[in-house]
């Protein structure tokens, strides 16, 4: 790890903390933030924790024009004995650098980035909510800040971490959602930015989501951009199907995101000796499994929701009702186990949980 | 046109204007900028011209995270008799709204947007450079500003116009560039955002450009993301080939940008009775035409360079030298005619040029 010293300026005016029951996702932010600058020739410099404050940027700053940005998302939990737990932050920082590589953004020292977020969380530790299902959402991100309208990598960046206390993703506990297979829009294609956590992927997804929302579906199921038949992701989550006792998830084909939750679920399933395969899976295969009565469960996986069971899948002008629109047994077991490990209630035999001192 | 009144606050401290010979592209900005806000329920409001100044945004502003942004680019020229000319600004504003639709950004009144940029240019008219090949580059853009980490369209936006005096794109007049066919990375795919002028497309293109620069090529030739053989664009420009007396440009297939320069060139060629077809064209067809000695010219088209002749095309491990690495006769004629109309030196028989009073 590089030898940086983080300068800390504490906020004089502390904000009022929200009531646990009123917590929403990503709308409230804590008293402090972490910032570090990059200047060509000088590298990453001036790491600092400062009061949460607006960014002041030239209107020509490249992030506003050419979308050169990346981000990550992870959560911190407070255990009953006041320990702060992070879930696999090394995986997020590894991915941040993979995203940086794809977007021509200079790499960040991963160990130092984890140290920075630990220090920031320590400063704002009173903001970690403790009610069932709540957590402190951590958003590290990098933006390009050089004021220049040429299409080229920026010579200046800011690496920023902000924190947001968030409520339970499911207000009434885990429950199945309705998903529509997307036939018009495409999220990403091999050779594009699908494997990177960059703004453009999310901007591209908004239209399809808006159209499906109007039809009563909460997310879309993305198909590949080439043959338009292989399953990629669901909304902004990875996806798993349980068919005839076997769990199947699309392989990392160069256009889907390598989710940390996805990776953890594969490990858990292997640990439990439940058959799990990563391979190409077509929408026709899912449809046939449904017709044969062997499509047992389907669920999305991601940091925000952890496990999001799919109760209804709309495709080929037909509504496929999965597991009687109920949360499946495996979905529930995965959700309980993962959140149990993340919150420190259950034993972590994988070495996934990292304590903040 | 909607009845808005633009509030004008003039800058008290005027910046020094750059020397014409030292003008670069997109690095210097004028004394003023235009801003207008959008708030859900209220619509677009408070149009104003203010001193050029930094944007102050919450670090959770959506543009930093989910790339919901669009932009346009056009130029203003000062004629010898002090008239200010714009080139087809209606086309840019039409496209801005098509980009807005794709990115779930609320539409902007096109006529009013043109009125706003005319007023801004009038305020900063002293900034329009007059030396041969120089112009005032106009950058309208929209960013999403709501501080919210949910993946959804923002409820707040800013529509901003900034102005930049720019030098000649070619320091020594129009000259051919070297281009490499891109075989690893993909710019866009049908169903994605390729037809929209949004940041994510440009962010996605940086890596391929960086790799090709290292090999001595200035831009890449993008192929389609599905079959990886049909020609899409060159760098951030549209592309034309002259083969055996006929001009061919890729048709608007849903993944390439509908360039204003592209459209104008098609009109000019038709006007001159030069055969021009918009259709799918494969890289193999270009290669075969080269081998048969009938690939006469190739050029990129866009607002920044107007016409960018291609002197060398790298593909299939071979360097194809086009027109002896010289600017072709047609490329030159198109460049001279278009810039002649844009700068008011030549008669505009198409009704393309719009005067700023």
Give the integer Cα–Cα distance in Å for A50 and A32: 6
Tell whether A40 is within 8 A of chain B (Cβ).
no
Q: Do A186 and B186 touch (CB under 8 A)?
A: no
Confidence (pLDDT) at B208:
97
Is residue B2 in some structural domain? no
Please give the Cα distance from A315 to A289 (Å, whole number).
13
pLDDT at B172: 65
Looking at the fold, whether A50 and A162 belong to one and the same domain comes out as: yes
**Any idea what the CATH number is for the domain that residue A54 is in?**
3.30.470.10
From chain A, pick out residues whose CB is under 8 angstroms from the CB of B54. Answer: 56-59
Q: What angle do CA A70, B71, B233 make, to 5 degrees?
A: 85
Q: Which domain holds residue A303?
A: 177-342
Residue B313 to chain A, least CA–CA distance (Å): 21
- Residue A122: predicted pLDDT: 97
Instruction: Dump strand ranges (E) for chain A.
Output: 7-8, 32-39, 43-51, 55-57, 69-71, 74-78, 84-87, 135-144, 156-166, 177-181, 219-223, 231-234, 238-243, 246-249, 276-278, 295-302, 306-315, 318-321, 353-356
**DSSP label at A233?**
E
What's residue A210's pLDDT?
Answer: 96
Within a domain: B121: yes
Q: Is A203 on the interface with B (CB under 8 A)?
A: yes
Residue for token digits 């543009």? B63
Nearest to B287 by CA among B253, B322, B247: B322
Asked if A192 contacts B204 with a C-beta cutoff of 8 angstroms, the reply is yes
The CA-to-CA distance between both ends of chain A, in Å, stands at 18
- Domain end, chosen from B168, B188, B203, is at B168
Claim to verify: residue B78 and residue B191 sit in the same structural domain = no
Segment holding B17, helix H or strand E:
none
Same domain, B141 and B183: no
CA separation (Å) from B86 to A90, B35, B73, B355?
52, 20, 11, 6
Domain presence at residue A29: yes
B40 touches chain A (CB under 8 A): no
The pLDDT score that the predictor gives to residue A121 is 98
CB within 8 Å: B55 and A57: yes
Residue B315 shares a structural domain with residue B238: yes
Selected residues 159-178 of chain A with any CB under 8 Å from a CB in chain B: 160, 162, 164
Give the model's pLDDT for residue B21.
Answer: 83
B347 within some domain:
no
For position A171, what pLDDT does the model report? Answer: 67
> How far off is chain A from B34, nearest CA to CA, in Å?
11
Could you tell me how many CB contacts below 8 A there are between chain A and chain B? 224
Is residue B125 a part of any domain in this protein? yes
The ipTM assigned to this model is: 0.97
Residue B273 domain flag? yes
Cβ under 8 Å to A: B residues 70-129: 71, 73, 102-104
Residue matched to tokens 């800011």: A158
**Same domain assignment for residues A182 and A221:** yes
Both B245 and B332 in one domain: the answer is yes
Say whether both A232 and A98 belong to one domain.
Answer: no
Residue A349 belongs to some domain of the structure: no
Per-residue pLDDT of chain A (357 residues; tens, 9 = 90+): 777 899 999 999 999 999 888 898 999 999 999 999 999 999 999 999 999 999 999 999 999 999 999 999 999 999 989 999 999 999 999 999 999 999 999 999 999 999 999 999 999 999 999 998 899 999 999 999 999 999 999 999 999 999 999 987 766 678 899 999 999 999 999 999 999 999 999 999 999 999 999 999 999 999 999 999 999 999 999 999 999 999 999 999 999 999 999 999 999 999 999 999 999 999 999 999 999 999 999 999 999 999 999 999 999 899 999 999 999 999 999 999 999 999 999 999 999 999 998
Report how far Cα A280 is from the mean position of its chain's Cα atoms: 22
pLDDT at B133: 87
Q: How many domains does chain A have?
A: 2
| Distance, CA of A137 to CA of A72 (rounded, Å) | 10
DSSP output for A9-60? ---SSPPPPPPGGG--SS----SEEEEEEEETTTEEEEEEEEES--EEE-TT
Contact B191 A198 (CB under 8 A): no
| Whether residue A151 is found in the same domain as residue A182 | no
User: Do B119 and B203 share a domain, yes or no?
Assistant: no
Query: Chain B 287-346, CB below 8 Å of chain A: which residues?
Result: none
Q: What is the pLDDT of residue A337?
A: 97
Query: What integer pLDDT is reported at residue A4 of this predicted model?
Result: 82
Do B154 and B185 sit in the same domain of this protein? no
Residue in A closest to B101 by C-alpha: A207
Last residue of a domain, one of A147, A168, A189: A168
CATH of the domain at B216: 3.20.10.10
Span between the terminal Cα atoms of chain B, in Å: 18
For residues B223 and B117, state if they share a domain: no
Check CB contact of A272 with chain B, cutoff 8 Å: no
Contact B25 A151 (CB under 8 A): no
Alpha-carbon distance B202 to nearest alpha carbon in chain A (angstroms): 5
Give the closest of A59, A150, A162 to B59, CB-based.
Answer: A162
A303 and A207 in a common domain = yes
What is the distance between the alpha carbons of residues B234 and B223, in angstroms, rounded to a whole number? Answer: 9
Closest CA to A328 of A182, A167, A177: A177
Query: Strand, coil or helix: what is A157?
Result: strand
Tokens of B134: 């120089």
Q: pLDDT 10s digit of each residue in chain B, 357 long?
A: 777 899 999 999 999 999 888 898 999 999 999 999 999 999 999 999 999 999 999 999 999 999 999 999 999 999 989 999 999 999 999 999 999 999 999 999 999 999 999 999 999 999 999 998 899 999 999 999 999 999 999 999 999 999 999 987 766 668 899 999 999 999 999 999 999 999 999 999 999 999 999 999 999 999 999 999 999 999 999 999 999 999 999 999 999 999 999 999 999 999 999 999 999 999 999 999 999 999 999 999 999 999 999 999 999 899 999 999 999 999 999 999 999 999 999 999 999 999 998
Residue A73 Ramachandran class (φ > 0 left, ψ -120 to 50 alpha, else beta): beta
Q: Please report whether residue A76 resides in a domain.
A: yes
Q: Is B214 on the interface with A (CB under 8 A)?
A: no
Pick the last residue of a domain from A168, A185, A212: A168
- Distance separating alpha carbons of residues A95 and A73, to the nearest angstrom: 11
């Amino acid at each position: 790890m590089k030898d940086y010293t983080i300068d800390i300026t504490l906020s004089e005016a502390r904000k009022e903390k929200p009531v646990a029951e009123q917590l929403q996702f990503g709308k409230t932010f804590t008293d402090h933030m972490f910032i570090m600058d990059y200047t060509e020739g000088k590298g990453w410099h001036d790491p600092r924790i400062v009061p949460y404050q607006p960014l002041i940027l030239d209107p020509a700053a490249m992030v506003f024009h050419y979308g050169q940005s990346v981000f990550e998302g992870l959560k911190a939990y407070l255990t009953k004995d006041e320990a702060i737990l992070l879930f696999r932050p090394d995986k997020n920082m590894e991915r941040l650098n993979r995203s940086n590589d794809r977007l021509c953004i200079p790499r960040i020292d991963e160990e130092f980035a984890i140290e920075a977020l630990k220090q920031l969380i320590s400063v704002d530790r009173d903001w970690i909510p403790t009610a069932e299902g709540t957590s402190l959402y951590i958003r590290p991100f990098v933006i390009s800040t050089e004021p220049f309208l040429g299409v080229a990598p920026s010579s200046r960046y800011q690496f920023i971490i902000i924190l947001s206390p968030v409520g339970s993703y499911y207000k009434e506990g885990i429950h199945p959602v309705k998903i529509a297979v997307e036939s018009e829009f495409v999220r990403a294609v091999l050779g594009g930015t699908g494997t990177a956590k960059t703004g453009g992927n999310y901007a591209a997804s908004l239209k399809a989501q808006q159209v499906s929302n109007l039809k009563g579906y909460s997310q879309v199921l993305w198909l590949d951009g080439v043959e338009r038949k292989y399953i990629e992701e669901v909304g902004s989550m990875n996806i798993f199907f349980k068919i005839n006792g076997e769990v199947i998830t699309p392989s990392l084909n160069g256009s889907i995101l390598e989710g940390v939750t996805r990776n953890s679920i594969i490990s858990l399933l292997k640990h439990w000796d439940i058959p799990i395969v990563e391979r190409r899976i077509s929408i026709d295969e899912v449809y046939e499994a449904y017709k044969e009565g062997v499509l047992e469960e389907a669920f999305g996986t991601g940091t925000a929701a952890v496990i999001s069971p799919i109760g209804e899948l709309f495709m080929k002008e037909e509504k496929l009702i999965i597991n009687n629109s109920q949360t499946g047994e495996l979905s529930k077991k995965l959700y309980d186990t993962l959140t149990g490990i993340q919150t420190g209630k259950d034993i972590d035999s994988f070495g996934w949980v990292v304590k903040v001192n």
